[in-house]
Amino acid sequence: MKFGIIVFPGSNCDHDAYHVISKQVGQPVDFIWHRETNLSSYDAVIIPGGFSYGDYLRAGALARFSPVMESVKKFAASGRFVLGICNGFQILCEAGLLPGALIRNRDLHFICEHIYVRVETSDTPYTNEVQAGSVRRIPIAHAEGNYVCDDETLDALRRNDRIVFRYCDRQGNVTAVANPNGSRDNIAGICNAGRNVLGLMPHPERACEDLLGSSDGRDIFRSLAATLALAA
C-alpha cells in the first residue's frame, strides 16, 4: 500500500501527516506537489492542513483549481481513499467531493486546543478499528471550521450514517457547549456517499503519540491501513 500527501503552496501539516504514515503506520509515503497529476501509484491520498494559497478568497477555494485536484476527483471516483484534514476538509468541500461548507467560527477566534469528538460510526474505512460512540481527544486549529449545510444535506448525512465525528464533551455528550465553532449538528467530520472520502476539522495526525499529549488520532490511520491491507 502506498500513501501520498498532497502539498499546496501554504500547506503546513504535510510533514506531520508524512511522519505519522511513515513512523506510526509504517507504510511508504510520498509528498505530491499540487502540480502533479499522476496518482496511479497511490492507494490513499491525504490532503493535509494548512493555509493553501493563504486562504485567499475563501479557505480551500483556490486550491481546488490546482492541477492535482482533477486527478483527486478521478481517484475518489475510482473508489480509492481520500482523507482531508482541516484545510483538506475545506478543499474537499470547495471541490464538491463533500457536501456543505466551512465558514468562520461562530466566535471569530482562531481556535487551537484539544477538544473531544465522538466517533459516530465505525462503518467507514477510517474508523473501522474504532468503536462507534467512543470519545477521542484530538486538537483543532482553525478559524473557519463552522460546518454549514442545508436541511436536505443534513438529512441525507444523518440518514446514510455519513456523520463520522461530532464535537462532544469529555463524557461523549454532544452539546451546544461542547461545540467549539458553531458547526451545524456539532459536525466535526463527514464522509461521502461512497464512504471512501473523509473530511474532518480536527487534526488526528497531531494526536498519534502520547508525547504530544494524545494518541487518540492514531486509530484513524490504523483503520485506513487495515482497510488497505485487506484490499491488497
Partner 1 sequence: MKAKVYVSLKPGILDPQGKAIQHSVELLGFGGIADVRQGKYFEIALDDSDEQQARESVARIAREVLSNPIIEDYRVEIEE
220 closest CA partner among 146, 194, 18, 203: 203
Tell me the C-alpha distance between 117 and 135, whole Å.
Answer: 6
Nearer Cβ to partner 1, position 193 or 229?
193
Tell me the C-alpha distance between 127 and 118, whole Å.
Answer: 11
Q: Does 107 bind partner 1 (CB under 8 A)?
A: yes
Total number of residues that touch partner 1 (CB under 8 A)? 19
Q: Does 73 bind partner 1 (CB under 8 A)?
A: no
Query: Smallest distance from the beta carbon of 213 to partner 1, in angstroms?
Result: 29
Q: Does 148 bind partner 1 (CB under 8 A)?
A: yes
Nearer Cβ to partner 1, position 101 or 226?
101
Written as nine digits, the cell of 97 is: 467531493
- Indicate which single residue of 10, 28, 172, 182 sits in contact with partner 1 (rule: CB under 8 A): 182
Nearer Cβ to partner 1, position 57 or 193?
57
Nearer Cβ to partner 1, position 106 or 170?
106
**Could you list the active site residues?**
86, 203, 205
Q: Does 101 bind partner 1 (CB under 8 A)?
A: yes
| CB 116, CB 167: distance < 8 Å | yes
Segment near partner 1 (CB under 8 A); pick from 2-10, 32-40, 46-54, 55-63: 55-63
- Indicate which single residue of 26, 38, 40, 108 sits in contact with partner 1 (rule: CB under 8 A): 108
Nearer Cβ to partner 1, position 127 or 183?
183
Q: Does 185 bind partner 1 (CB under 8 A)?
A: no
Segment near partner 1 (CB under 8 A); pick from 57-65, 75-83, 169-177, 198-206: 57-65
Q: Does 94 bind partner 1 (CB under 8 A)?
A: yes
Coil, helix or strand at residue 91: helix
Helix (H) or strand (E) holding 107: none
How far is Cα of residue 171 from the mean position of the Cα atoms in its chain?
23
Interacting residues toward partner 1 by CB under 8 A: 57-58, 61, 65, 93-94, 100-101, 103-108, 146, 148-150, 182
